[in-house]
Amino acid sequence: MNAIGWPDWRRLNQEGIVFAIAILLFAAAALGLPGFLTADNLVAIVRSVSVLGILALGMAVVIIGRGIDLSAVAIMAMSVAWYLQLLNTGTSDGLAFVYVLAGVLAIGLLNGFLVAYADVPAIFVTLATGSFVFGYVRSQLITQDAVPVPGGHWVELLGGVRFLDIPVEVFVFAGLAFLVFLFLRYTKWGRFIYFAGDNPVAARNIGVPVRPMLVLRYVLSAFVALIAGLLTAASLHSINTRIVNSTLLYDIVLVAVIGGIGLSGGRGGVRNVLVGAALIGILLNAMTIIDIPLLYQNLIKAAILLGAIIVDGIINPRDEQTAQQGDI
């Protein structure tokens, strides 16, 4: 905004564009689609992107620090599948949870260690650990693709929890978004993530513990994935590990990137994730109401992403700094 309150078009960026598209879509759907603008449907929209949004929060923290975590979906599905398998074969709840938590943190640490101390590019490390987690858990620890939640277990009960008729996922998503916002904005380590993402060498020179913080980010991302997995199992009463082969990982990166978190690091925040999730949520909901087949849904999703990237490229041309550092 400038002095007289008009939007300053020069400051328009991808986040703004996507937000505008989301508002337009929302308005069009509210006018054109009966039943869109009901409280229940709005809750359903937020709910349908809650798990995706939670995963995107973890991914956002990693991307802002100039990295990427391609193992998130594997960690999400396989940790919870293993947990449920342990429960189904009679391991006590506490012990099973300790095992799984230890496993999840170990993978996060391994990701972080390999990226931070062994200097292997994040994209290769997490691609490999994701495949490893999937392969190991699927072949050694569980017996089939879908693992049901034992009847009466707290994960099953969690799925039915409502406040004011709003499902628990929505609150978890909102709560985590607020926590990540506080962490990124108001803590020293949160600010350091931006420094490290923007220019790791300079950050290191001014005394930021760049490497331990890198490890921390991957551990956080793994932990967030576990939460997302538990919520998925809670609402479906089972977890299907087939999700590892789905487009979910693509959608997570899509939500983060479409909202305006640059893959070159150092830019963006929780607001971008919320904007990205809002667009995807409204889009999917409206397309389902109109009954558009999935093939076309994917096409439309991809076209909007492409459009946003192209417009962003025109409005924010690559500068010398990005040219030197390169995108992912």
Partner 1 sequence: MKLLRTLMAAATALAVTAFVAPSFAADDPGPAAYAKSLNGKRVMLVPLAMGFDLAQGWAHYLKKEVEAWGGTFETRDPNWVVDAGAQAITDAIASDTRPDVLIIHAPDLNSYSKLMKKAQAAGTYVLLVDNPANFPADAFVGSDWDKLGQLEAEAAIKGCGENSSKKIGLVQGDQANSSSLYQYAGIMKVLEKHPDFQVVAKPDSNWDATTSRNVTTTMLQQHPDICSIIDFWDGDATGASAAIRDAKLDGKVFLVTTGGGEKAADCDKLVDGTYGAVVMTDLARQSGDMNAVIKFLLQSGQPAGTSHTYIYTLEKATTKADLKPDSCWDLKALQAEAAAK
Chain positions 214 to 243 lying near partner 1, rule: CB under 8 A, are 232, 235-238, 240-243
Which residue is associated with the tokens 């931006």?
194
Residue choice 246, 306, 309, 313 for contact with partner 1 (CB under 8 A): 246
Chain positions 7 to 26 lying near partner 1, rule: CB under 8 A, are none
Residue choice 12, 20, 30, 44 for contact with partner 1 (CB under 8 A): 44
**Strand duo 166-167 + 238-240: pairing:** unpaired
Q: Are the C-beta atoms of residues 224 and 57 closer than 8 Å to each other?
A: yes
Residues 150-179 as x/- pattern, contact with partner 1 by CB under 8 A: ---------xx------x------------
Q: Are the C-beta atoms of residues 254 and 59 closer than 8 Å to each other?
A: no
Nearer to partner 1, 208 or 254 (CB): 254
- Nearest residue to 279 (alpha-carbon basis) of 262, 295, 256, 263: 256
Chain positions 58 to 117 lying near partner 1, rule: CB under 8 A, are none
Q: In the bound complex, what is the minimum distance in angstroms from residue 53's beta carbon to partner 1?
A: 13
Q: Specify the stretch interacting with partner 1 by CB under 8 A; choose among 16-24, 138-146, 264-272, 318-326.
A: 138-146
Whole-angstrom distance, CA of residue 77 vs CA of residue 242: 8
Size of the site for partner 1 (CB under 8 A): 37
Which residue is associated with the tokens 């939640």?
149
**φ/ψ (deg, to 5) at 240:** -110, 115
Whole-angstrom distance, CA of residue 11 vs CA of residue 26: 23
Q: In the bound complex, what is the minimum distance in angstroms from residue 7's beta carbon to partner 1?
A: 33
DSSP string, 203-227: HHHTT--HHHHHHHHHHHHHHHHHH
Q: In the bound complex, what is the minimum distance in angstroms from residue 281's beta carbon to partner 1?
A: 10
Q: In the bound complex, what is the minimum distance in angstroms from residue 276's beta carbon to partner 1?
A: 17
Whole-angstrom distance, CA of residue 234 vs CA of residue 135: 24
Residues in contact with partner 1 by the rule CB under 8 A: 34-35, 38, 40-41, 44, 47-48, 51, 138, 143-146, 148, 159-160, 167, 232, 235-238, 240-243, 245-246, 284-285, 288-289, 291, 293-295
